[in-house]
């Protein structure tokens, strides 16, 4: 059913072409694009099991198996388990809040970042997220390449890296609800069998001992903090998981928001992902033969050496699960960054190819020797983002502001939000300085201090906020012109596709014809006209008040 909303209701501007069913052209593209440049409408939301299966790919990252073992070797088993347990609680609390908000709003990390940082700041957030995830694609892919190279030999590592990229990248060509949920659902039992099988195999070959639970390093490093706190801080370095959870949770159905927040993205998930994986890693590190210092690569080679082809199969399955999602997230954020900054808009599948090329070239370097250092700096930036996001969500809840009242449309948010940008910049500078110059103290305290500084500064800024920091007031809002902004679809005058009114705006550069979120983000003339209209509206309000 198509309706015209009359110009009288919209204040003399062109009528809206409204329908209450999905645009077939939009649906056809959504199978691959997954509304990556748009708000996810309720009709594209998917079931609890679908969201869970897609998201649960993360739990099979070998990183979580190895990092638990590495922390245990540094601080001892008891302190490691305490720190990991605290991380489970923190991850569960933080990500349940973030996931529920993403579910309620349908926003991506990039779109929400517009709210707290403005248009320019959100582009940086998308770049940070995309680059960080690309690094994880490289690291996890390099593990598979190393395992294949070690098992089959002969051919050079560059060949196996190409094989890994060539088979993993296409797995991200389709979206969460049309492919990733099915792929990870099929591979999940194989991962569980491999995880349990590695423990059983190790016991059968080497015997069982409780030494892994009582292990203490002979010469403990002087960390200046309790070992459990050091373990907790190590896991803070992976708070990019909050951004990842956000971009998956937005596909959940509104009626499942609480369940998804508490279960799929909450504490139960992290009990498995952090605690159980770490326990397996700690046990294997103390049981099987590993050549050289413990690292993600040496641990995987040890598993393959013990289990043979079955160990290799487990590695391939586990890393396929996690990297299909990593390729997906990296591609969506690269797509958002380039569309918003240089106005270069291409389908998400194009960006999967770009990420694949970048990943392959990076895999040809000695990636595992430098990627940890890079991620340490990016981790400081990410904990600042998490602090600001949590502070903003909490502020909205305390004031009773509905989640879906967010303003993220490019024609109605400023280029820079000084509250968010100021808090993020201050926290990042302090955190990076601590990493660079703080020695052991800086390594342990950079992320916690950056988190606190970002949250406190942003909370204070909210106390003294100005209207113009968060929104540009303009007339003629399509949200106000329809009965239900989540169900009414409005045709865009640029792309001729229809999207929900929640994301639509009016284009002052085209006689106030309706324009969708993606087209508005790419259109320089629209942005200039919107800025002028907002300035004129502000001047008019100032004159009326004086």
Question: Domain boundary residue among 309, 338, 365?
Answer: 365
Distance CA 70, CA 212 (A): 12
Are 101 and 141 in the same domain? yes
The domain that contains 305 carries what CATH number?
1.10.4160.10
pLDDT value for 4: 57
Number of domains in the chain: 2
Are 179 and 297 in the same domain? yes
468-to-160, 310, 409, 527, 538 alpha-carbon distances in Å: 53, 59, 14, 16, 9
Are 359 and 477 in the same domain? no
Tokens of 391: 């502070």
pLDDT value for 454: 98
User: Which of 393, 326, 322 minimizes the C-alpha distance to 94?
Assistant: 393
Please write the tens of the pLDDT for every residue from 150-190.
Answer: 999 889 999 999 999 999 999 999 999 889 999 999 999 99
Structural domain contains residue 7: yes
Contact between residue 296 and residue 63 where contact means Cβ atoms under 8 Å apart: yes
Structural domain contains residue 397: no
Please write the tens of the pLDDT for every residue from 51-90.
Answer: 999 999 999 998 899 899 999 988 999 999 999 999 999 9
pLDDT value for 544: 79
Structural domain contains residue 487: yes
Are 491 and 348 in the same domain? no
Structural domain contains residue 233: yes
The pLDDT mean for the chain works out to 93
Sheet of 2-5, strand order:
2-5, 16-19, 489-491, 498-500
Contact between residue 86 and residue 274 where contact means Cβ atoms under 8 Å apart: no
First to last CA, the chain: 47
Are 171 and 137 in the same domain? yes
Are 144 and 217 in the same domain? yes
Are 107 and 10 in the same domain? no
Are 221 and 114 in the same domain? yes
pLDDT value for 368: 63
Distance CA 112, CA 391 (A): 13
Are 14 and 74 in the same domain? no
Tokens of 4: 């015209």
Radius of gyration of the chain (CA): 24
> 209: domain range?
46-365
Contact between residue 122 and residue 113 where contact means Cβ atoms under 8 Å apart: yes
Question: Domain boundary residue among 334, 365, 396?
Answer: 365
pLDDT value for 6: 47
User: Which of 186, 175, 171 minimizes the C-alpha distance to 45?
Assistant: 175
Q: How many other CB atoms are found less than 10 A from the CB of residue 400?
A: 6
Structural domain contains residue 450: no
Angle at 157 between CA 153 and CA 161, to 5 degrees: 120
Are 115 and 159 in the same domain? yes
Structural domain contains residue 457: no
CB burial class (10 A; 0-12, 13-18, 19+) of residue 289? exposed
> Helix or strand or coil: residue 490?
strand
pLDDT value for 540: 86
**CB-based burial, 58-84: b 16+ in 10 Å, e otherwise:** bbbbbbbbbbbbbbbbbbbbebbbbbb
Q: pLDDT averaged over consecutive 10-residue blocks of the chain (546 residues)?
A: 50 90 95 94 96 95 90 93 98 98 97 96 94 93 92 91 97 92 93 95 95 86 87 94 98 96 97 96 91 79 93 94 96 94 91 97 80 83 98 97 95 97 98 94 94 98 93 96 97 97 98 97 95 92 78
Handedness of CA 534, 455, 424, 407 (dihedral sign): negative
> Helix or strand or coil: residue 250?
coil
pLDDT value for 58: 94
**CB-based burial, 423-443: b 16+ in 10 Å, e otherwise:** bbbbbbebbbebbeebeeebb
pLDDT value for 2: 54
Question: Domain boundary residue among 365, 394, 425?
Answer: 365
Please write the tens of the pLDDT for every residue from 334-385.
Answer: 999 999 888 888 999 999 999 999 999 999 987 666 777 788 889 999 999 9
132-to-21, 237, 364, 381 alpha-carbon distances in Å: 37, 11, 18, 11
φ, ψ of residue 167 in degrees (nearest 5) = -95, -25
Are 67 and 155 in the same domain? yes
Structural domain contains residue 525: yes
Structural domain contains residue 428: no
Are 14 and 85 in the same domain? no
């Amino acid at each position: 059913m198509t309706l015209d909303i009359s110009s009288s209701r919209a204040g003399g501007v062109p009528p809206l072409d409204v329908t209450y069913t999905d645009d077939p052209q939009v649906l056809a593209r959504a199978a691959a694009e997954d509304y990556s440049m748009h708000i996810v409408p309720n009709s594209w939301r998917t079931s609890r099991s679908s969201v869970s299966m897609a998201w649960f790919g993360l739990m099979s990252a070998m990183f979580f198996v190895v990092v638990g073992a590495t922390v245990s070797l540094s601080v001892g088993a008891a302190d490691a388990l305490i720190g990991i347990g605290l991380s489970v609680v923190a991850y569960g609390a933080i990500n349940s809040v973030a996931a529920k908000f993403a579910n309620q709003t349908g926003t991506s990390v990039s779109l929400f970042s517009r709210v707290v940082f403005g248009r320019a700041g959100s582009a940086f957030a998308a770049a940070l997220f995309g680059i960080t995830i690309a690094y994880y694609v490289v690291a996890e892919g390099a593990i598979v390449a190393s395992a294949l190279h070690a098992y089959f030999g002969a051919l050079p590592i560059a060949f196996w890296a190409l094989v890994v990229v060539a088979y993993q990248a296409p797995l991200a060509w389709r979206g969460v609800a049309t492919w990733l949920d099915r792929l990870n659902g099929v591979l999940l039992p194989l991962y569980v069998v491999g995880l349990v099988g590695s423990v059983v195999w190790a016991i059968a070959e080497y015997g069982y001992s409780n030494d892994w639970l009582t292990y203490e390093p002979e010469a403990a490093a002087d960390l200046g903090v309790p070992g459990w706190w050091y373990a907790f801080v190590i896991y803070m370095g992976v708070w990019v998981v909050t951004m990842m959870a956000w971009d998956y949770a937005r596909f959940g159905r509104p009626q499942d928001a609480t369940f998804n927040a508490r279960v799929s993205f909450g504490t139960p998930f992290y009990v498995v992902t952090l605690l159980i994986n770490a326990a397996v890693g700690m046990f294997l590190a103390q049981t099987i033969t590993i050549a050289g210092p413990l690292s993600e690569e040496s641990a995987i080679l040890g598993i393959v050496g013990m289990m043979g082809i079955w160990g290799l199969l487990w590695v391939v399955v586990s890393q396929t699960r996690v990297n299909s999602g990593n390729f997906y997230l990296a591609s969506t954020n690269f797509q958002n960054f380039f569309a918003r900054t240089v106005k270069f808009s291409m389908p998400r599948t194009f960006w999967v190819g770009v990420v694949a090329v970048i990943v392959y070239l990076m895999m040809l370097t000695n990636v595992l020797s430098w990627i940890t250092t890079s991620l340490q700096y990016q981790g400081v930036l990410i904990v600042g983002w998490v602090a600001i996001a949590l502070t903003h969500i909490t502020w909205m809840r305390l004031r009773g502001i509905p989640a879906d009242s967010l303003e993220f449309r490019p024609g109605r948010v400023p280029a820079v939000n000084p509250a968010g940008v100021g808090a993020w910049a201050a926290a990042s500078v302090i955190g990076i300085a601590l990493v660079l110059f703080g020695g052991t103290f800086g390594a342990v305290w950079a992320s916690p201090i950056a988190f606190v500084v970002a949250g406190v500064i942003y909370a204070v800024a909210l106390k003294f906020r100005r209207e113009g920091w968060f929104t540009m007031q303009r007339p003629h809002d399509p949200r106000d012109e329809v009965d239900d902004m989540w169900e009414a679809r409005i045709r865009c005058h640029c792309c001729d596709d229809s999207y929900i009114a929640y994301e639509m705006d009016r284009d002052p550069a085209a006689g106030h014809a309706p324009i969708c979120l993606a087209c508005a983000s790419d259109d320089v003339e629209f942005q200039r006209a919107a800025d002028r209209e907002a300035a004129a509206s502000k001047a008019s309000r100032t004159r009326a008040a004086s």
